[in-house]
Chain A
Amino acid sequence: MTDLPGIPSRRNFLKASAASVALVGVAAQAKAQGNAPAVAPLDQYQPEFLNADEWAFVMAATARLIPSEGNGPGAIEARVPVFIDLQLAGSYGTADMWYMEGPHDPTASADRGWQTPLNPAELYRQAIPAFDAWCESTQGAKFAELDADKQDAALTALQKGEPKLAPELSIFFTTLLANTKEGYFADPMYGGNHGMASWVYLGFPGARAAFREWPERHNIKYPLGPVSIKGERA
């Protein structure tokens, strides 16, 4: 059977259908493979807890704690700032599960645990301007406005306790770093680990949670990519 120009034939119709199916298939697969639901670019994100200065700080600081350069996603690609904002807006930020009654001794040594009277949301709210003030006095600008090298130096100083923030704020760097890693590795439904990119980078299969035939497959790398709690795949 010859296809006549300009006249739809059954064969062409079938070819077209197959192509459409293939295209639909690609789209479905792309979605299934973790092109996670469309989200607002970070510069258009409307924070629930953080104000504009705090958002600028969290964007800049997490971008240095887990930078975009090199292999694997950075905190920005993983949308860690969104995770931190949502955590601070929720029951973690308000320390709902913690014992927060006084009296408090924020000067206690670090190995006594969380002893500041501040909850995590209050900690970010007070520590960011205090640290920004230190950056301004020693580096001439707020943290977010420094170049990457100066930001790294400032974060290193913060980790070592050099800015001498108030004792209530001494746990800030530890908290910021822990929250950044949480946002990088947690299930994407919490706003970070966008597209499960950190899990792909590590080879962690997320919520697959079924490996009955694997304990005795010694020294063979598990081949399947991750799934999320909501069923996305990457």
Chain B
Amino acid sequence: MARQEKKKDVVIVGLGWTGSIAGIELAQEGLDIVALERGEDQSVVPTFKYPNQIDELKYGVRNTNFQHPSRQTVTVRRNEGENALPYRVLGSFLPGNGVGGAGTHWNGLNWRPQPVELQLRSHVRDHWGEQIIPDDMVLQDYPVTYDEMEPFFTRFEKVAGISGYAGNLKGEIREGGNPFEGWRSEDYPMPPMKTTYDASLFAEAAKKAGCHPFPAPAGIASQAYTNPYGMQMGPCNYCGFCERYGCYQYSKSMPQTATLDALKAYPNFSYRTGAEVLRVEMAEDGKTATGVTYFDHAAQEEVFQPADIVILSSYQLNNVHLMLLSGIGQPYNAVTGEGVTGKNYAYQMNGGITLFFKDKNFNPFVGHGANGQAIDDYSISQIDFGAEGFIGGAYWRAGTFNGQPIRSMPLPKGTPTWGAGWKEGIGEWYGHAMSIGSHGSHMSYKTNHLDLDPTYKDPHGRPLMRMTFNWNQNDLRMNQFQKRMMEPIAEMMGADSWQAGFKDVGAQYDVRPYQTTHNTGGHIMSDSPTTGAVNKFSQAWDKHNVFCMGAGNFVQNTQYNPTGMVGGLAYHTVHAIRTQYLSNPRPLV
């Protein structure tokens, strides 16, 4: 029989970005809160301290900072007919683990969605008619609008400490910013980061082509910064160890630099590590949760933690897994299209061009994860979907982000992969290559979804979650459009050679190469209990004291990196809990 802990007002499952935001905002209400974190405790010192963290093999290649598949993973199949096989070794995506979660090892690319991305079905219907929506696409509006979300995006950007230059300040379009972004009530908390050589060459070519380059918004401090919680960041020194690493010098936006120490100062907040939540427990009437059961790794036993409110704030895949295991929302059935939990799993459609210049030095190790100049000229709001034959868009960016040689060794096509020719190639081209990336949207489809695997089990005997996912022709056509638009701009840049890498129609999902850790959907927000698992306040439709945070809420994925919207939605949710739910716990919609 499970040990039982003292009842809390709130139990938080997973102490990363959204869990720590929920913790600090609800701690301000005086609630008694405990956060349960599956992984280890992590602080800048000692966890990420210099020089230990500057270790490409341990962290960049052996993936030590992430969720270890031996502890938790998924199975993957490309379609209903394929046998799902375990994702045994991390490759395509890198879920987080430990205090700070994936917020410790992201690149810092902090974007807001475009206003039309949140009302995409309406946007398509109003401009081209619903007949252009492919049969297999599940296109929905978000139940929130950009205008409703704007104060919460701003709040997250202030807390996280984002550097950038507003292109649309209260409706005024400003030269040098992104003219296609949604309006901002305030400029970025910090001025933009510096522009490296590769980014300046791209920006020059893009401008000549009539595009509108701007500095990429960065969760990286361009100067000393103190956030609204009194947390401090120091200016970045462009060491290039962002993605896959914790930042050793307090420059990257992480829960460690933005929320955690302020949160730990609340006497009504506590957290336990090595506390792996196995399931959410339900009241007999099935309408509310009573708390969670977790495995205490130190004591090697199950523990029941009762609570009035349960906040699921673990990584998207783990949130959906817990919901499927606990009976939160009816599981989605891809054959009938009924059910909600596991529905609309989506990802990201990316491509790019690499350019080689014999006579230019890019010092590729100088940079940061969100470095560079970007354009939004081929973004969702700028494309005639009816004429082009797809729904979607992308932003492009050029900027050095790491020159770590095990993983970052672009070589011209035709260079041998080993032997004397390879060795000559790396000597000739290291430091002389740059790239332009296209980071594209990914729609939701009836065929891409999450459920429980019938065969494979985790160390606790629970079924692994099964991902059914493949690239869809719509997004591949979008990707090929980006290629056609990018090639002439690359050609203008005068490289000795360049090569494009964009998945084409017919491409199959390959779990091996890193793509993005932008796994979205599975517990999407909706305006009705039959179309999604949670309402606009991330509140489970069928269990009103369970709130499910994170990218699982995404109806379809946007063309941007998800963290800015994840943070905005977290503030939107906790605001509703504070102002509407605590005084009268009930379904808020």
Please give the residue numbers on chain A whose beta carbons come within 8 Å of chain B beta carbons, in ascending order: 64-67, 69-72, 74, 92, 95-101, 103, 105, 108, 110-115, 152, 155, 159, 177, 180-182, 185-187, 190, 198-199, 201-212, 214-222, 229
Contacts and interface: CB of A to CB of B under 8 A. Distances in A.
Contact of A215 (B241, B367, B455, B512): B367
Interface stretch (B48-56, B125-133, B271-279): B48-56
B197 interface: yes
B91 interface: yes
Given A97-B69, A100-B70, A103-B455, A185 B406 contact: yes
A215 B423 contact: no
18 contacts: A71-B423, A97-B63, A97-B69, A98-B88, A111-B510, A111-B512, A185-B56, A185-B406, A186-B57, A201-B427, A202-B405, A204-B365, A209-B51, A209-B239, A209-B241, A218-B196, A218-B197, A229-B52
A221 B510 CA distance: 37
Contacts of B91: 113
Contacts of B511: 111-113
A70 B430 contact: no
Interface in B179-217: 193-197, 200
Given A69-B420, A97-B68, A111-B512, A182 B61 contact: yes
Interface in B346-363: 360-361, 363
B552 interface: no
B426 interface: yes
Contact of A203 (B57, B237, B430, B512): B430
Contacts of A70: 420, 423-424
Interface string B24-41: 000000000000000000
Task: Give the interface size bracket for B toward A.
Answer: 35 or more
Given A177-B418, A187-B56, A210 B239 contact: yes
Contacts of A186: 56-57, 61, 406
A212 B57 CA distance: 24
Interface stretch (B79-87, B114-122, B541-549): B79-87
Contacts of B512: 110-111, 113
Contacts of B363: 211, 214, 217, 220-222
Contacts of A211: 237-240, 363, 365-366
Contacts of A222: 361, 363, 365-366
Given A204-B430, A209-B50, A65 B70 contact: no
Contacts of B455: 103
B403 interface: yes
B195 A182 contact: no
B64 interface: yes
A99 B69 CA distance: 5
B417 to A, nearest CB: 7
Interface of B: 50-52, 54-57, 61-64, 68-70, 73, 76, 83, 85-89, 91, 193-197, 200, 235-241, 248, 360-361, 363, 365-367, 371, 403-406, 417-420, 422-424, 426-427, 430-431, 455-457, 508-512
Contact of A152 (B89, B371, B419, B424): B419
Given A152-B419, A185-B56, A215 B64 contact: no
Given A155-B418, A186-B56, A112 B76 contact: yes
B238 A74 contact: no
A203 B429 CA distance: 11
Q: Which 4 A-B pairs have the closest CB atoms?
A: A209-B239, A111-B510, A99-B69, A186-B57
Nearest to A198: B405
A71 to B, nearest CB: 5
Contact of A221 (B55, B87, B431): B431
B167 to A, nearest CB: 21
Contacts of A219: 197, 360-361
A187 B239 CA distance: 16
A70 B428 CA distance: 12
Contact of B85 (A66, A69, A95, A115): A115
B88 to A, nearest CB: 5
B85 to A, nearest CB: 5
Residue in B51, B55, B404 whose Cβ sees the most chain A Cβ within 10 Å: B51
Contacts, number: 171
A11 B202 CA distance: 64
Nearest to B53: A209
A210 B431 CA distance: 17
Contacts of B239: 208-211
A72 B427 CA distance: 7
A190 B512 CA distance: 24
Contact of B418 (A65, A114, A185): A65
A105 B419 contact: no
Contacts of B406: 181-182, 185-186
B431 A111 contact: no
Given A99-B87, A110-B512, 10 more contacts: A64-B418, A69-B420, A70-B420, A202-B431, A204-B405, A215-B195, A215-B371, A216-B194, A229-B51, A229-B54
Contacts of A66: 418-419, 422-423
Contacts of A209: 50-51, 54, 237, 239-241, 248
A97 B73 CA distance: 11
B67 to A, nearest CB: 9
Contact of B237 (A111, A205, A210): A210
B55 to A, nearest CB: 6
Contacts of B193: 215
A209 B59 CA distance: 15
Contact of B365 (A69, A177, A205): A205
A208 B419 CA distance: 29
A207 B54 contact: yes
A210 to B, nearest CB: 5
A110 B513 CA distance: 11
B397 to A, nearest CB: 15
B240 A218 contact: no
A67 B196 CA distance: 35
Given A99-B69, A112-B511, A211-B366, A199 B405 contact: yes
B85 A99 contact: no
A233 to B, nearest CB: 13
Contact of A182 (B57, B248, B422): B57
Contacts of B57: 182, 186-187, 190
A31 B371 CA distance: 36
A105 B83 contact: yes
B528 to A, nearest CB: 37
A181 B424 CA distance: 14
A229 B55 contact: yes
Contacts of B405: 185, 198-199, 202, 204
Contacts of A97: 62-64, 68-70
B238 A214 contact: yes
Contacts of A199: 405
Nearest to A190: B57
B433 to A, nearest CB: 12
A194 to B, nearest CB: 15
A224 B239 CA distance: 14
Contact of B51 (A103, A207, A220): A207
A69 B555 CA distance: 56
B54 A99 contact: no
B51 A215 contact: no
A176 to B, nearest CB: 10
A111 B86 contact: no
